[in-house]
Structure 1
């Protein structure tokens, strides 16, 4: 996609795949002006996926966007998207319990909110593991806003390669037959 990003409307409805400099790979979708969806393919919580995460989404200056949210796990995330440069700067603030027990979070979060909240209460939250990283955007697509077909199944090995090769979504970001 060779779109030039300038406004907040240019950003909303955009779907990204990116890889942090530490090797962690993510899919991320700006579902609308207040929610995001994502799947995690690398790192200590690989296999985790989330839809409808409430987030603060703003344009800092034309073409640069800041998104921040707190998950039910207690993890805080702040991302700065620079899509015209295919770069992201992100900081993830993992509570100690996620660092110690990441396997609890490796699921479809939306079906296990009670489990996330219980773990947050049961285990230590401090000190937080702070992961500041730059990322390279490896895929940008225009999925349109409020497209519930973009992030709608668990991640699998090779999924992002299938997406980049055009073997996963059709032109409207609907899942191709398996």
Structure 2
């Protein structure tokens, strides 16, 4: 996708893949002006995926966007996207329990909200593990807003390469047959 981002409308509906400098790979979709979907492909919670996460999504200035949310796990996330430069800065604030038991969160969160709440209450929250990282955006796709096919299944090895190489979505941003 070769696009100049200027307004919030330019950003909404965009599907991103990015890799943090620490090697963690994430896939993230600006579903609409208040919701994000994402899959985690690398790092301590690789394999986790989430749909319909409420988020605060704002344009800071032309082509620069700030997104922040709190997950049911108690994890806080703040992302600053600079898509025109293929850059992102993210800070993830993991509760102590997620650092100690990351496997609990490696699932399709939407089907395990009660487990996330239960774990958040059962295990220690502090001190939080703060992970501030810069990232390089390696893919941007114009999926359109509220496209339920963008984040539509669990991550698998090679998925991000399939997406980047045109083997996952058709020209209308619908999932190709497996």
TM bracket, shorter-chain basis: over 0.9
Equivalent position SS for 1:107: coil
Counterpart CA distance in 2 for 1:42 and 1:27 is 10
Q: TM-score, normalised by structure 2?
A: 1.00
Counterpart CA distance in 2 for 1:20 and 1:99 is 18
Counterpart CA distance in 2 for 1:99 and 1:74 is 12
Equivalent position SS for 2:114: helix
- The aligned counterpart of 1:77 is 77
- The aligned counterpart of 1:136 is 136
- The aligned counterpart of 1:34 is 34
Provide Cα deviations, 1:9-60, integer angstroms capped at 9, x if missing partner.
Answer: 0000000000000000000000000000000000000000000000000000
Equivalent position SS for 1:18: strand
How many residues end up aligned between the 2 structures? Answer: 178
Deviation >3 Å, runs of 4+: none
Q: How far 1:119 moved relative to its partner?
A: 0.2
Q: How far 1:118 moved relative to its partner?
A: 0.2
- The aligned counterpart of 1:46 is 46
